[in-house]
Amino acid sequence: MSRAGFVALAGRPNAGKSTLVNRVVGDKVAIVSDKPQTTRREVRGIATGGDWQLVLVDLPGMQKPRDRMTERMQRRVEQALSDADAVLFVLNGEQEVGAGDRFIARAVRKAGIPAVIALNKVDRLSRSRTLDALTDTADLGLPGEIFPISARTGSGVAPLVDHLVEMLPEGPFLYPPEDRSDLAEHVHLAELVREQVLLRTREEIPHAVDVQVVDVIERADGLLRVEALAWVESDTQKAILIGARGRMVKAVGMAARKSIEASTGRRCHLDLRVQVRRGWRGDESLLDRLGIE
């Protein structure tokens, strides 16, 4: 009998949840950066073995809502926790356990579903620091095993996956075995573009930018034409993202094009423009179009 189910990933921003999803799936289904709030949409990464299918639900980092966008993100986190078969709480081993981790631990206990803890980034810790981090993690009082791992190198990930598979209910596969994610194509392409913005900008820009793919055309010669808009909240942000003589937006576009080609296996022409919409994080209609549920 096969096993299949959903495991929700909870954790503070920058805990390494997206890196872990990509590692387990074996493909890039979630974008990665060192900026908080990188994950804004629920991303499902699908890993399939001979008789099991593990659907990892990469959630936005839990946070206190500050606007319509973060309200939506927090509601999505709470709903995903209630719908999951198990929860994987990912902690950043480089950071001390804090109020944010205790808040998440309470939310996980409230969800009332089986939990597992992954202490991530142990490849960057000394042995004594790892032992201290494991002790602090245990003090959170969550039932379930604790796995020291490195999502970056893959160390410790295989035993974690084996344990998660054992927690899945018996049942048929939920997706075709060849699937790696169920993210809509235009949203996935937009995320690949936004990733390049995150990698190249600082301060308020990463938080103030999102990307919308408005058109994808597959030409007869095999070229993929992608038209995308980068939304910002002010003229100053627009000027920064465009850069002197258009250098910044050109660099973002070139890198994003390569990322899209690597993801799709097709040649790509990317038309990327920057537009201002003041207060877009509170604009319900734009949030709908951006795929932020």
Task: Give yes or no for residue 239 having a pLDDT over 80.
Answer: yes
Cα–Cα distance for residue pair 160/117, rounded to 1 Å: 9
Task: Give yes or no for residue 38 having a pLDDT over 90.
Answer: no
Mean pLDDT of 174-195: 95
Task: Give yes or no for residue 143 having a pLDDT over 80.
Answer: yes
Grade residue 36 by pLDDT with cuts at 50, 70 and 90: confident
Q: What is the pLDDT of residue 127?
A: 93
Grade residue 63 by pLDDT with cuts at 50, 70 and 90: low
Mean pLDDT of 36-40: 79
Count CB-CB contacts under 10 A for residue 158: 11
Give percent of the chain with pLDDT exceeding 90.
73
If we measure between CA atoms, which residue out of 63, 124, 62, 115 comes closest to residue 93?
Answer: 124
Mean pLDDT of 37-55: 91
Q: What is the pLDDT of residue 76?
A: 77
Residue-averaged pLDDT of the chain: 92
Q: What domains sit in the chain, N to C, each tagged with a CATH number?
A: 3-167 (3.40.50.300), 185-290 (3.30.300.20)
Task: Give yes or no for residue 212 having a pLDDT over 90.
Answer: yes
Q: What is the pLDDT of residue 191?
A: 95
Q: DSSP readout, the chain?
A: --EEEEEEEE--TTSSHHHHHHHHHTS--S---SSTT---S-EEEEEE-SSEEEEEEEPPPP----SHHHHHHHHHHHHHHHH-SEEEEEEETTS---HHHHHHHHHHHHHTS-EEEEEE-GGGS-HHHHHHHHHHHHTT---S-EEE--TTT-TTHHHHHHHHHHHSPB---SS-TT-SB---HHHHHHHHHHHHHHHH--TTHHHH-EEEEEEEEE-TTSPEEEEEEEEESSHHHHHHHH-GGGHHHHHHHHHHHHHHHHHHSS-EEEEEEEEE-TTGGG-HHHHHHHT--
Task: Give yes or no for residue 268 having a pLDDT over 90.
Answer: yes
Task: Give yes or no for residue 151 having a pLDDT over 90.
Answer: yes
Give the lowest-confidence range in 114-118, 171-175, 182-186.
182-186
Cα–Cα distance for residue pair 170/156, rounded to 1 Å: 25
pLDDT digits (tens, 9 = 90+) for 1-35: 899 999 999 988 889 999 999 999 999 999 998 88
Task: Give yes or no for residue 61 having a pLDDT over 70.
Answer: no
Give the lowest-confidence range in 47-51, 58-62, 136-140, 186-190.
58-62
Pair 160, 89: CB distance under 8 Å: no
Q: What is the pLDDT of residue 34?
A: 82
Q: What is the pLDDT of residue 286?
A: 86
Grade residue 240 by pLDDT with cuts at 50, 70 and 90: very high
Q: What is the pLDDT of residue 223?
A: 96
Q: What is the pLDDT of residue 62?
A: 66
Half-sphere exposure of 73 (CA within 13 A, CB side): 24
Task: Give yes or no for residue 49 having a pLDDT over 70.
Answer: yes
